[in-house]
Structure 1
Amino acid sequence: MEEEEQQQRSLMFLLTYMLLKRRRDLNNADAQRRSEIQRRIRHRQYFFQRQRRMLMMMIAGGIRSNIRMRTRPWTNTPRSDWWERVVMTEFQPSDWLDKFRMSRETFFYLCDRLRPRLARQDTSFRLALPVEKRVAVALWRLASNVEYRTISTLFGVGKSTVCRCVRDMCHAIVALLSSTYLRTPTEQELEESAQLFHSFSGFPHCVAAITTLHTAIITPSSNASDYANPAGWLSVLSQVAISGRGHFWDVCASFPGGTDPAEILQNSSLWFTAAEGGLSPATTPIFMGKQLRYVLLGEACYPLQSWLMKAYSEPKSQRGCRVELTEPQQLFNRGLNRALRATEEVLLRLRARWQCLSKRNDCGLDVVPTMILACCILHNMCESHGDSFKAEWQEEVCGAENPQPGYKPSAPSSTDQIGAEEVRGLFCDYFQLQST
């Protein structure tokens, strides 16, 4: 009897435990279900409120756009689909050229080249911007230099998205297109550039010209005085080498506007490449009956080298006597200045096509150098593809931008190469012969 009672008590205890456990599980499941229902209600209320706010903003934005944008038929299109319905379907060739500074064909070529770096995956929260729209946003900024807020309203994206598009595209251009459009020239390109310099400017045996480009910036947070250029305004200084075809062969950006151009040149890869004969064919060409590597032309602030020609300094009085330049020296100066003016026209075309380089650039100093490089590469690409250039762009820049600073001629120094004067004398002899 005692064993049966013991078994009954054990069975009763087990049944009681199982009933209590079942009740606890049911209570927990009930609580979790109520919590999930409340969470879903809050989530749905949040999205309903957000959707309502966005709808009201779109309605208000559509009203403002109908009031303000009545100058052209396509400006009345709602901002959310302006890119898809207008640009992609209704833009004419002149619209593509005016707004993006390149033809439609070049635009899509650029998108295909940049796709490996700019393509993004959709997420569960939002759809990724197409590569074409990302490139269009960035090109609009480079071409017009308008505020991010204006571009944000136009394309229906956030200001931070515009900033990210500009930054990403400039980095992608430098990473993916430099090897194609900004590289050391081949021997055939060197010979072609020498012929073009000779035919267009009359200066022989020259393959490129070195000059400076100042890009206006906002006041930096530190070392602002270093960025004041000789003209008195703040800028980032770039050194560029321009070929006879009007393409950029080498670009050194990111220097403060107050930096001495001669220091930039002497510490650049271009200096070492040219000094070692990298900008001349393996077989040294003949000039005036002598073997002479191709030369580069430079402004008066650069040191004289056997491969870098600059103008003779203006006459100065010595011991009460005024020393005049000889006729061959004057002819040389005129020929060199004529060739340098041709390169100034190339820089003007660059700044006119990409007006972020002609107007004050309000991007951070970590972005401006990459933007300058990207614009030079885009210039080469557009020129190579034969895209048109509108004269009104150039007229607009000439009337609006700060003039580029000039530099005083540098006095002969230890950086002038021994024997360089003899090379410059050969060019004087050439111009003397051409004048007779």
Structure 2
Amino acid sequence: AACFFSKMAEEGALQPLMFLLLYMMRKRRSDLNNANTERMNESHRRIRLRQYFMQKQKQDISTNSPSSSTTPNTAADTKSNDWWERVVINEFQPQDWLEKFRMSKDTFFHICDKLKPKLSRQDTHLRPALPLEKRVAVALWRLATNVEYRTISVLFGVGRSTVCKCVREVCHAIVSLLKPQYLRQPNEQDFENIVRVFNARWGFPHCAGAIDSLHISIIAPPQYNVDYWNNKCWHSVVVQGVVDGLGQFWDVCAGFPGSTEDVTILQNSNLWAMASEGGLFPDPPKAFMGKPLKYLLLGDAAYPLQDWLLKSYSESEGLSKSQLNFNYRLNRAHSVIENAFLRLKARWQCLLKRNDCSLDLIPTMILACCILHNICEVHNDHFNEEWLEAIGQTEFPQPADPVPESMDNPSAEEVRQLLCDYFESQDES
């Protein structure tokens, strides 16, 4: 009888676990079915869109006059010019500009004006030059939607090679002309402003930025297939970014293969060299809690602990109350770059979906998107929260590469303890 009741007790204890496992298996099956359905719907939507544009193009060609047969592109150019000049320029409402180009009309023409030195073209005796504004619009449409060149070609009435050329030229022009103004290393006064905003907005003092990395899905060339294969089993390039307290980038390093660990990217970047040489901090360091302290960057477990780069205490340790409080404060402040990457991908979906551009262009495209992100943030262009819904449907989980504690700088532990003492004193007061 004792054995019988003991067996019944064991079965009773296992029953909740069995129900939990059964629930998790059913939820996993449901998630997979939903993901497959969404992928199929997206594929069907793209096919319908492509068929629509191809059908429209055939109709336009069939209705041309006989005299246009010697110049096949004339009708398409006429229609596209009519669509661009009459519909977009004159009839687009503010919401249309925001949805199609991810920015306001004023910001769009501000960018066009800034890019004139590199993108201005003269008409030739063979054909008129494509207007600068139209070339910028072609490029921004590609960056915002990541649709195929063929679709954009039909929409704007230009050849696919022209679309490709516009994207390449506009991205390079943005990096060349706008990076010095909108994505540059802060000077001493800028750093003081960043530190003040970080403390006021996120409650973390002496902080000059948050650092993190983002993997961008690509189609890797066969000869580099292994190099770009990350630990989540998809091909990618990595972008390392640093943002201020408002979520605007002030340092970006893009183009490393997906198999590269975050710590390797950091140690091979200009940021590491400048920080090691003291170029990122005032000399002498500002006083904090009665001690000289360098400005700080906030990272996660993928980065080594330094006297200028902090991360949370490992959760596996037996943490004190002040250490847990430090982790909470740091993680909350570090979320500013996580939010910045979310807004970056949602606004410029060439970074969200698999990018099929040539490998040599992708780093420039990433950098151009970061600059455009800053421009939109500086100009207070509205961000549509509905854009974030597309991120939840992505198939590309971000890799994580925690570094071993042996790579941490032992002297940096004093800095973490100093911040622990500061937050504890703040809570007590």
Between the aligned partners of 1:214 and 1:199, the Cα distance in structure 2 is 30
Kindly tell me: are residues 189 and 57 of structure 1, through their superposed partners in 2, closer, same or farther at Cα, counting changes over 3 Å?
Answer: closer
Kindly tell me: are residues 53 and 270 of structure 1, through their superposed partners in 2, closer, same or farther at Cα, counting changes over 3 Å?
Answer: same
Range moving further from structure 2, 198-207 or 355-364:
198-207
Between the aligned partners of 1:384 and 1:57, the Cα distance in structure 2 is 40
Tell me if the contact between 2:210 and 2:336 (Cα under 8 Å) persists in the aligned partners: no
Q: Which residue of 1 aligns with 2:238?
A: 237
C-alpha displacement of 1:55: 6.3
Q: Which residue of 2 aligns with 1:304?
A: 305
Between the aligned partners of 1:80 and 1:342, the Cα distance in structure 2 is 42
The code of the aligned residue for 1:51 comes to: S
Between the aligned partners of 1:90 and 1:49, the Cα distance in structure 2 is 31
Kindly tell me: are residues 190 and 56 of structure 1, through their superposed partners in 2, closer, same or farther at Cα, counting changes over 3 Å?
Answer: closer
C-alpha displacement of 1:276: 2.7
Tell me if the contact between 1:312 and 1:329 (Cα under 8 Å) persists in the aligned partners: yes
Kindly tell me: are residues 101 and 401 of structure 1, through their superposed partners in 2, closer, same or farther at Cα, counting changes over 3 Å?
Answer: farther
C-alpha displacement of 1:421: 1.1
Q: Residue 426 of structure 1 is aligned with which of 412, 418, 422?
A: 418
Q: Which residue of 2 aligns with 1:117?
A: 118
Kindly tell me: are residues 385 and 56 of structure 1, through their superposed partners in 2, closer, same or farther at Cα, counting changes over 3 Å?
Answer: closer
Tell me if the contact between 2:242 and 2:337 (Cα under 8 Å) persists in the aligned partners: no
Q: Which residue of 1 aligns with 2:373?
A: 379
Highest CA radius of gyration, 1 or 2?
Answer: 1
C-alpha displacement of 1:54: 4.8
The code of the aligned residue for 1:265 comes to: L
The code of the aligned residue for 2:318 comes to: E
Tell me if the contact between 1:122 and 1:128 (Cα under 8 Å) persists in the aligned partners: yes
Between the aligned partners of 2:221 and 2:67, the Cα distance in structure 1 is 39
Tell me if the contact between 2:202 and 2:245 (Cα under 8 Å) persists in the aligned partners: no
1:274 lines up with 2:275 in the alignment = yes
Between the aligned partners of 2:172 and 2:74, the Cα distance in structure 1 is 34
C-alpha displacement of 1:389: 0.8
C-alpha displacement of 1:430: 1.5
1:87-102 to 2 correspondences below 5 Å: 87-102=88-103
- The SS at the match of 1:195 is helix
Between the aligned partners of 1:145 and 1:135, the Cα distance in structure 2 is 15
Between the aligned partners of 1:50 and 1:262, the Cα distance in structure 2 is 63
- C-alpha RMSD over aligned residues: 2.1
Between the aligned partners of 1:171 and 1:125, the Cα distance in structure 2 is 26
Range moving further from structure 2, 200-209 or 152-161:
200-209
Q: Which residue of 2 aligns with 1:107?
A: 108
1:256 lines up with 2:257 in the alignment = yes
Between the aligned partners of 1:215 and 1:114, the Cα distance in structure 2 is 26
Q: Which residue of 2 aligns with 1:214?
A: 215
Q: Which residue of 2 aligns with 1:7?
A: none
- The SS at the match of 1:184 is coil
Q: Residue 323 of structure 2 is aligned with which of 329, 347, 362?
A: 329
Tell me if the contact between 1:275 and 1:307 (Cα under 8 Å) persists in the aligned partners: no
Q: Which whole-Å deviations, capped at 9, do the CAs of 1:384-419 have from their partners, x for residues lacking one?
A: 1111111111222233352322233x2222x43341
Q: Which residue of 2 aligns with 1:137?
A: 138
In the alignment, structure 2 segments of 5+ residues that lack a partner are: 1-64
Kindly tell me: are residues 165 and 329 of structure 1, through their superposed partners in 2, closer, same or farther at Cα, counting changes over 3 Å?
Answer: same
Between the aligned partners of 2:391 and 2:114, the Cα distance in structure 1 is 30
C-alpha displacement of 1:327: 1.8
Tell me if the contact between 1:137 and 1:166 (Cα under 8 Å) persists in the aligned partners: yes
- The SS at the match of 1:225 is coil
Q: Which residue of 1 aligns with 2:62?
A: none
Between the aligned partners of 2:212 and 2:67, the Cα distance in structure 1 is 54
| TM-score, normalised relative to structure 2 | 0.80
The code of the aligned residue for 1:422 comes to: E
Q: Which residue of 2 aligns with 1:205?
A: 206
The code of the aligned residue for 1:193 comes to: I
Between the aligned partners of 2:98 and 2:251, the Cα distance in structure 1 is 26
Between the aligned partners of 1:98 and 1:401, the Cα distance in structure 2 is 23
Question: What is the identity percentage for the equivalent residue pairs of Structure 1 and Structure 2?
Answer: 57
1:289-368 to 2 correspondences below 5 Å: 289-315=290-316, 323-368=317-362
- The SS at the match of 1:258 is coil
Q: Which whole-Å deviations, capped at 9, do the CAs of 1:193-232 have from their partners, x for residues lacking one?
A: 1122223322221110110011101132212122122222
Q: Which residue of 1 aligns with 2:405?
A: 412
The code of the aligned residue for 2:344 comes to: L
* Corresponding residue pairs, total: 364
Q: Which whole-Å deviations, capped at 9, do the CAs of 1:79-101 have from their partners, x for residues lacking one?
A: 34211111111111111111111
Tell me if the contact between 1:358 and 1:401 (Cα under 8 Å) persists in the aligned partners: no
- The SS at the match of 2:124 is coil
Q: Which whole-Å deviations, capped at 9, do the CAs of 1:290-322 have from their partners, x for residues lacking one?
A: 11111101121211110000111232xxxxxxx
- The SS at the match of 2:239 is strand
Between the aligned partners of 1:227 and 1:340, the Cα distance in structure 2 is 27
- The SS at the match of 1:226 is coil
Between the aligned partners of 2:424 and 2:209, the Cα distance in structure 1 is 22
Q: Which residue of 2 aligns with 1:226?
A: 227
Q: Which whole-Å deviations, capped at 9, do the CAs of 1:106-149 have from their partners, x for residues lacking one?
A: 11111111111111221221111011000000000000111111
Between the aligned partners of 1:194 and 1:382, the Cα distance in structure 2 is 22
Q: Which whole-Å deviations, capped at 9, do the CAs of 1:129-183 have from their partners, x for residues lacking one?
A: 0110000000000001111111111100000000000000001111111111111
- The SS at the match of 2:230 is coil
Between the aligned partners of 2:363 and 2:118, the Cα distance in structure 1 is 19
Q: Which residue of 2 aligns with 1:265?
A: 266
Kindly tell me: are residues 333 and 93 of structure 1, through their superposed partners in 2, closer, same or farther at Cα, counting changes over 3 Å?
Answer: same
C-alpha displacement of 1:245: 1.8
1:42-121 to 2 correspondences below 5 Å: 51-52=68-69, 54=71, 58=75, 78-121=79-122
C-alpha displacement of 1:283: 5.0
Between the aligned partners of 1:349 and 1:128, the Cα distance in structure 2 is 35
Range moving further from structure 2, 366-375 or 194-203:
194-203
Q: Which residue of 1 aligns with 2:37?
A: none
Between the aligned partners of 1:416 and 1:122, the Cα distance in structure 2 is 60
- The SS at the match of 2:371 is helix
Q: Which residue of 2 aligns with 1:174?
A: 175
In the alignment, structure 1 segments of 5+ residues that lack a partner are: 1-47, 63-76, 316-322
Between the aligned partners of 2:115 and 2:321, the Cα distance in structure 1 is 53
